Amino acid sequence: MSGSKGTVMERGAQDGARANADARLSIEQVSYAYTPNPSQAPVFTLEATSFQAKAGEIVAVLGPNASGKSTVLKLIAGALEPLSGRILLNGQETHLMEPRVRAQRIAMVQQESQLLFPAKVWEFVLQGRHPHGKSLRFETENDVAIAKAALGDVGAHHLMDRLMDQISGGEKQRVILARALAQQPTLLLLDEPTLHLDIGAQVDFLHTLKKLTVANKYAVVIVTHELNLAGEYADQVVLMQKGKCLRVGTPVSVYQRDLLEQVFQTQLAVEQRVNGRPRVSVLEKSE
């Protein structure tokens, strides 16, 4: 943690940011159709999907490729407008929010994007302060303190003066998370954040995320392929297949062998560990 500087949310409380305790995301019967050419039938449809995320809770959205996971995340982020249904963050529809207001409340951690010109880590994290001010702005001391606290929170304080393209994949994901924290959001969205990380870095990342989610009362929605990591760290999982939301519930209630085998089209074994969390393993494919 960041020592005497305080965590990013404590910093937030100092400058009067709202408390996160009552953050609540509800997705109510949301559907969507992706139609690249208006005269043709949609190439992808998301059928009515509902689930909720509360403050301090991690919801993992799982499913095979093209199951609609990323579409759900884009809808929540307000980047897409639902065909029907509503997505409410504390009572407000996300796609109707002003871009700046939305970015004050919702932070998105995406798979890393290519930078055109190399930026220092601290410059990158300070970008998270952009929504908290006018269009043309120069960062204040408070912004700097918040960015430092965010780097401290993810254990990346020492990377501050490095260039973004000179740190490892695991370090980069932490820095991207720090930028999201610097936004002081109520809702954190993560799109396959552990995709290119080795197993140690994956566990590290999710452990940090879990700790911060509980401490700062974020509502978190994470899209991932990692069944076991989701089973370990998520409070709820949403299982999707071909644009349908099949099941919502605790990992143990959703991770049923028949269901997972049908969704992922492979033979699996599911066991319950001593901590009550499920574990999925792949069985040898019988010819």
Partner 1 sequence: MQPLTLNKVVVRCGILAVVLFVVVVVALKFGAVPVSLYGLAKGLIGVLIGRSSQISSEYGMIIREIRLPRIALGIFVGASLSVAGTSFQALLRNPLADPYVLGVSYGAAVGSIVALVIEPHIAMRPEIAAVFTPLGGFLGATLTISVVYLLGRYRSQLDSKTLLLSGVIAGSFLSAMIMLLITMLPSSSTRGMAVWLMGDLSTPMSPILAWVLRTGFFVFFAMIYLTASDLNLLLAGEREAMHLGVDVRKVQLVVYLSASALTGLAVSVSGSIGYVGLLVPHVMRMIFGTDYRMLLPAAAFGGAIAVVIADTAARTIAAPSELPVGAITAIAGAPLFIYLLRRRLA
Interface stretch with partner 1, choices 18-26, 43-51, 119-127, 238-246 (CB under 8 A): 119-127
Cα distance between residue 40 and residue 44, in whole Å: 12
In the complex with partner 1, the residue whose CB is nearer, 161 or 287, is 161
In the complex with partner 1, the residue whose CB is nearer, 161 or 284, is 161
Is 183 a binding residue for partner 1 by CB under 8 A? The answer is yes
Structure tokens at 113: 């994007």
In the complex with partner 1, the residue whose CB is nearer, 131 or 251, is 131
Is 207 a binding residue for partner 1 by CB under 8 A? The answer is no
Among the listed residues 83, 119, 163, 268, the single contact to partner 1 using CB under 8 A: 119
Backbone torsions φ then ψ of 109, nearest 5 degrees: -105, 110
**Closest-CA residue to 148 (of 123, 166, 111, 169):** 123
Among the listed residues 4, 40, 91, 116, the single contact to partner 1 using CB under 8 A: 116
In the complex with partner 1, the residue whose CB is nearer, 39 or 113, is 113
Strands 187-191 and 44-54: unpaired
Residues 121-180 touching partner 1, rule: CB under 8 A, are 122-123, 126-128, 130-131, 135-139, 143-144, 147-148, 160-161
Tell me the H-state helices in 69-198: 69-77, 99-105, 121-126, 141-153, 169-182
CB of 225 to partner 1, least distance (A): 20
Query: H or E stretch including 27?
Result: strand 24-34
In the complex with partner 1, the residue whose CB is nearer, 103 or 240, is 103
Structure tokens at 54: 């509360």
What are the DSSP calls for 173-203, one per residue?
A: HHHHHHHHHHT--SEEEEESTTTT--HHHHH
Interface residue list for partner 1 (CB under 8 A): 77, 79, 98-104, 106-108, 110, 113-117, 119, 122-123, 126-128, 130-131, 135-139, 143-144, 147-148, 160-161, 183
